[in-house]
Amino acid sequence: MGHNLLGIWRSRNEVRHGGKRHPGLTIVRSSLKLLEDFQSAKEKLIRPRIESQNRAAWKPPPPGSFKVNVDGAIFPKSKQSGVGVIVRDEEGNVIAAMSRKLRLPLDALETEAKALEIGMEFAKEVGLRDVVFEGDSQLIINVVRGIGEAKASILNVIHGVLRTAQRFRTFDFLHIKRQGNAPAHLLAQHAQNVEDVIVWLEDCPSQVAHACAHDVSFLQHFE
């Protein structure tokens, strides 16, 4: 299964790198479609929870659901960026994880948007149906929740995120501070040492596993 996922992601990565920039008219049309997608997607969006705003500690998803944490990192010297994705269940167990290198000179906002997009596609490949997506970019989370405006540079990516969201049975988008998103951040940084993409199933690098264990022990301490 791990090799199949790796092949899928390599193929998609090559297609993306060969893409072309969309002209202004396409962007305008996409913005209108973006609004339609959001109106459709929000029907399945779980209602916002108070603790979702500016939360510093990782919390498990609702029973029967999975949480997908995402993060992006920029590597200025190589003019590349990395994405980290980690899937965990309601007990904090790692279901799957991924580090992916993007050979593109993206800025911070574009990298975070790509991280969410890739995280959602990864969740579909893993076979998840009820998912909570979480990241530490407040701006990106606000945009996909419909309480912020997408900049032109990320409009197409956000459009894809909302379109993909409709393929899940239930979903939510939550913001968390960087310290609560440590496993995904470590995976994004790890992408600097990856040729293209690497996927772990029911496993992850030792430093990421340590960060996950810290999340669980922190929760148990306050129960």
176: which 2 tokens? 């968390």
Higher pLDDT, 47 or 142: 142
Region 59-84 average pLDDT:
96
Return the closest-CA partner of residue 163 out of 36, 37, 30: 37
For residues 183 and 78, the answer to whether their CB atoms sit within 8 Å is no
> Contact at 8 Å (CB) between 44 and 171?
yes
Place of tokens 């969006």: 45
Q: Are 176 and 56 in contact (CB under 8 A)?
A: yes
Query: Among the listed ranges 17-21, 34-38, 42-46, 196-200, which one has the minimum average pLDDT value?
Result: 17-21
pLDDT at residue 4 in the model: 43
pLDDT tens digit sequence for 164-184: 999 999 999 999 999 999 999
Please give the average per-residue pLDDT across 60-82, as a whole number: 96
Q: Which domain holds residue 119?
A: 2-221
The whole-number pLDDT of residue 38 equals 58
DSSP character for 56?
A: -
Write out pLDDT tens, residues 115-168.
Answer: 999 999 999 999 999 999 999 999 999 999 999 888 999 999 999 999 999 999
CA distance 3 to 111: 25
Check if the beta carbon of residue 102 is closer than 8 Å to that of residue 62: no
Residue 223 has pLDDT above 80, yes or no: no
- pLDDT at position 43 is 56
Total domain count, the chain:
1
Q: For the domain that residue 96 is a member of, what is the CATH number? A: 3.30.420.10
Q: For residue 48, what pLDDT is reported? A: 43
In the block, tokens 């379109």 appear at 163
Neighbour count for residue 153 (Cβ, 10 Å): 13
Q: For the segment 31-42, what is each residue's pLDDT rounded down to a tens digit?
A: 455 555 555 555
The proportion of the chain whose per-residue pLDDT surpasses 90, expressed as a percent, equals 67
Tokens 């239930």: give the residue: 170
CB atoms near residue 2 (< 10 Å):
13
